[in-house]
């Protein structure tokens, strides 16, 4: 795995998560191969970078790549990849799996599950992965989903092991166990990455509600490395990372001068 750091920006709506993501990704890309990834359904990377970014990886410049995940397409592909494979392995229940796929597509955590799966691919291909998320709730759900899916695969693995015993006893080949094991291992790798290599920057402005939300992020993600960033900083005294108010922080050229060096220092530590 190439990944050195996986960086998340969270916080209240409008505090500057996307702008900081772009600025930090641009700086990191001077050092090594970096992908800037938006999981916010209301994407804004294209506008901030001043370069069209879509649901396929876009080479922005030098070692900087960007992608705005399209949740619907992502879930569709995930359902195809995982469920059609399951259907092939278990033809006897394939109609049930098709039914399940229909539910999955409209289930509340389907997007997070599919996005997490894609995130792991990027962690394998890039040195730095920077994630721009939607306001607080979505980011927290992202982490919760990872743990929930882990429980689910743990259960599936037990079932598959039982089935495997029966199949071997009958002298039949069993591909299901390998498949489940592979999915389970992918998820374990991802959870390991989240524990060991992820940093969360809880972004706020000098404004009480956003500060409160940043505090909630710190409290809810106690087992992760979380740092508070005051963006558009003017004068507030605090023991946190400060990014000053900047005129027009958008467009690649202007972002080069965006004062995110303190954040980058934490990422490189």
Ligand X SMILES: Nc1ncnc2c1ncn2[C@@H]1O[C@H](COP(=O)(O)OP(=O)(O)OP(=O)(O)O)[C@@H](O)[C@H]1O
Q: Which residue ranges make up the site for Mg ion (CB under 5 A)? A: 17-18, 44
**Residue 14 site contact among Mg ion, ligand X, none (CB < 5 to 8 Å, cut-off depends on kind):** ligand X
Give the x-and-dash track for 21-60 against ligand X (CB under 6 A).
-------------------x---x----------------
**CA–CA dist 232, 268 (Å, integer):** 23
Among the residue ranges 12-20, 49-57, 122-130, 164-172, the one whose residues contact ligand X (CB under 6 A): 12-20
In this structure, what token pair is assigned to residue 34? 């970096």
Out of 156, 249, 255, 264, name the contact with ligand X by CB under 6 A: 249
Q: How far is CA 75 from CA 68, 190, 221, 242, 244, in A?
A: 14, 18, 26, 37, 38
Q: Do the Cβ atoms of 141 and 148 come closer than 8 Å? A: no
- Binds 34: which of ligand X, Mg ion, none (CB < 5-8 Å by kind): none
| C-alpha span between 143 and 85 (Å, rounded) | 26
Q: Which is nearer to Mg ion, 21 or 127 (CB)?
A: 21
**Which run of H or of E encompasses 230?**
strand 225-233
Of these, 69, 123, 194, 243, which contacts ligand X (CB under 6 A)? 243
Helix extents (H) in 170-260: 176-196, 208-220, 252-256
Interface residues with ligand X (CB under 6 A) are 13-19, 40, 44, 135, 231-232, 243, 245-246, 249-250
């Amino acid at each position: 795995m190439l990944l050195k750091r996986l960086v998340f920006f969270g916080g209240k709506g409008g505090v500057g998560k996307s702008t900081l993501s772009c600025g930090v990704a641009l700086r990191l890309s001077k050092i090594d191969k970096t992908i800037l990834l938006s999981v916010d359904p209301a994407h804004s990377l294209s506008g901030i970078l001043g370069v069209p970014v879509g649901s396929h990886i876009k080479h922005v410049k030098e070692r900087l790549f960007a992608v705005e995940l399209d949740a619907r397409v992502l879930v569709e592909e995930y359902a195809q990849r995982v469920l059609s494979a399951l259907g092939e392995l278990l033809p006897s229940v394939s109609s049930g799996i098709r039914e399940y796929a229909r539910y999955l597509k409209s289930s509340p955590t389907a997007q997070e599950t599919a996005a997490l799966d894609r995130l792991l691919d990027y962690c394998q291909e890039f040195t730095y992965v920077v994630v721009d998320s939607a306001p607080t709730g979505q980011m927290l759900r992202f982490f919760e989903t990872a743990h929930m899916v882990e429980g689910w695969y743990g259960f599936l693995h037990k079932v598959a092991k039982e089935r495997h015993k029966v199949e071997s006893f009958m002298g039949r080949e069993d591909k299901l166990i390998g498949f489940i094991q592979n999915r389970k291992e992918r998820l374990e790798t991802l959870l390991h990455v989240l524990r060991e290599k992820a940093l969360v920057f809880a972004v706020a402005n000098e404004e009480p509600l956003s500060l409160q939300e940043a505090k909630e992020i710190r409290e809810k993600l106690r087992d992760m490395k979380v740092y508070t960033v005051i963006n558009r900083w003017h004068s507030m005294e605090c023991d946190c990372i400060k990014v000053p108010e900047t005129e027009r922080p958008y467009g690649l050229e202007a972002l080069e001068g965006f004062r995110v060096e303190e954040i980058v220092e934490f990422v490189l530590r």
